[in-house]
Amino acid sequence: MQIIFSSPSLDDLIRLLKAWRFWVLGAILGAVIGAAVYYIAPPPYRARATVVVDFNLEEAFPQDTDRQYFYYLERETRKLEEIALSDAVMNQLSAEFGIPVEELRGDKLELSQPAEGGWHFYATDETVRQAVQIASKWARLFTDEVNKKAAASDGLNPFIRADMAQVENLPSERSLSLSTYLLIGAIGFLAVSAFAVLFFGKSK
């Protein structure tokens, strides 16, 4: 135990450098194992739908300053984020796909780039078809809810407008790429190999 927690000496580092073939082999083996894990138990699919949100700053505040614009955008953006994960939206998704709301809000859904412009709605699932359907439906529900509240001035500025930009033929891919698995496997086994050389390869 004392050997393991002691600081490596110069001789240890030299021995590590001399054993470069060993830890390079370990890195290659780790990458191979990472690839095997990817194909045996692949990560879920991830689909993306896009909604364009227009705050219409010039119409909402035609004579206000940039500072007032900033606070307006920040306030309304927080409201829109709350709508995206609101009970009204989540309950409809849950009812249609049979997925508990807790799971939807947990790691099933992800909202990216909330600001003026394109809002990306990500959904993950074991099948690409389901991931696409969930992402598309989530984006549609958000768009309808935002426009309804804005039109009725129900907590949102009436000048806000949301339009679906990409809800069909959605781009989809694995939530984690093969290269990520290769890198994690290589780094993990490289560390293990170096540890083995430093602490278990010492002369008795």
> How confident is the model at residue 116, as a pLDDT?
63
Residue 103 confidence (pLDDT): 95
Q: Can you list the positions of beta strands (E) in 39-98?
A: 45-54
DSSP state of 41: S
- Tens digit of each residue's pLDDT (9 = 90 or more) over 30-85: 888 888 887 888 889 999 999 999 887 777 665 656 667 778 888 888 999 999 99
The pLDDT value given to residue 14:
67
Please give, one letter per residue, the 3-state secondary structure of 131-158.
HHHHHHHHHHHHHHHHHHHHHCCCCCCC
Structure token pair of residue 193: 């190999």
pLDDT number for residue 51: 93
Please state, in angstroms and rounded to a whole number, the distance separating the CA atoms of residues 132 and 50. Answer: 12
Among 170, 144, 174, 199, residue whose Cα is nearest residue 1: 199
Residue 188: predicted pLDDT:
79
Domains in the chain: ranges and CATH: 9-41+178-200 (no CATH), 45-174 (3.30.1890)
Beta strand residue intervals within the chain, DSSP E:
45-54, 109-112, 117-125, 161-166, 172-174
Token pair in block for residue 199: 């602490």
Distance, in Å, from the CA atom of 136 to the CA atom of 24, rounded to the nearest integer, reads 45
**In this predicted structure, what is the pLDDT of residue 19?**
62
pLDDT at residue 199, rounded to an integer: 62
Looking at residue 32, what is its pLDDT? Answer: 85
Give the separation between CA 103 and CA 93, rounded to whole angstroms.
11
Q: Are 197 and 190 in contact (CB under 8 A)?
A: no
Given a cut of 70, the residues of the chain with pLDDT beneath it are 1-20, 60-67, 114-116, 193-204
Note whether 168 and 115 are within 8 A (CB). Answer: no
